[in-house]
Structure 1
Amino acid sequence: MSPLPATIPAIVRTRIRATTRRRTAVTPEEAERRALLLRLLSLLLQYPDSELTAGRARLAAAVAVLPPSDATAELTAFTDWFTGQEPEALERHYVEMFDLRRRSSLYLTYYLHGDTRRRGMALLALAQRYKAAGWDVDGGELPDHLPVVLEFAALAGPGRGEAPLRQHRRGLELIQHALTDADSPYRHLLAALRTLLPPPTEADLAAVARLAAEGPPAEEVGLDPYGYGAFAPPGTFVPPEQAAPTLAAPARQEDPR
Structure 2
Amino acid sequence: MSPQEAEQRALVLRLLSLLSQYPDGELVAERARLASVVAALPGPWATCELGAFVGWFGAQEADALARHYVEMFVLRRKSSLYLTYYLHGDARRRGMALLTLARSYRAAGWDADGGELPDRLPVVLEFAALAGPGAGEAPLRRHRRALELIHGAPTEAEFPYRHLLSTLLTLLPPATEADRAAVAKLAAEGPPDEEVGLDPYGTHGHGAYEEGGFAPTATFLPPMPAVPTRIPPAATSPRKESRP
Q: Which bin holds the TM-score, normalised by the shorter protein?
A: 0.7 to 0.9
Corresponding residue to 1:221 among 180, 187, 197: 197
Corresponding residue to 1:195 among 160, 170, 173: 170
SS at match of 1:134: coil
* Structure 2 segments unaligned to the other structure (5+ residues): 206-244
Shift of 1:163: 0.4
8 A Cα contact 1:71 1:191, kept in partner: no
* Structure 1 segments unaligned to the other structure (5+ residues): 1-25, 233-257
Shift of 1:81: 0.4
Q: In structure 2, what is the equivalent of residue 205 of structure 1?
A: 180
Corresponding residue to 2:96 among 121, 126, 134: 121
Pair 72,142 (structure 1): closer, same or farther in 2 beyond 3 Å: farther
Shift of 1:178: 1.2
Q: Does 2:31 correspond to 1:56? A: yes
How many residue pairs were aligned? 204
The one-letter amino acid paired with 2:163 is H
Q: Which has the larger radius of gyration?
A: 1
Q: TM-score, normalised by structure 1?
A: 0.75
* Higher share in helix: 1
SS at match of 2:171: coil
Corresponding residue to 2:50 among 75, 91, 104: 75
Separation in 2 of the partners of 1:42 and 1:155?
A: 11
Corresponding residue to 1:39 among 4, 11, 14: 14
Q: Which runs of 4+ in 1 moved over 4 A?
A: 216-219
8 A Cα contact 2:92 2:203, kept in partner: no
Alignment of 1:1-257 (within 5 A): 26-69=1-44, 73-114=48-89, 116-215=91-190, 220-224=196-200, 226=201, 230-231=203-204
Shift of 1:27: 1.9
The one-letter amino acid paired with 1:44 is L
Shift of 1:220: 0.9
Shift of 1:31: 1.0
The structure whose RCO (Cα within 8 Å, separation 6+) is larger is 2
Separation in 1 of the partners of 2:156 and 2:180?
A: 16
Shift of 1:71: 7.1
For residues 31-56 of structure 1, give each alpha carbon's deviation from its aligned partner in whole angstroms, at most 9, with x where no partner exists.
11110000000000000000000000
SS at match of 1:159: coil
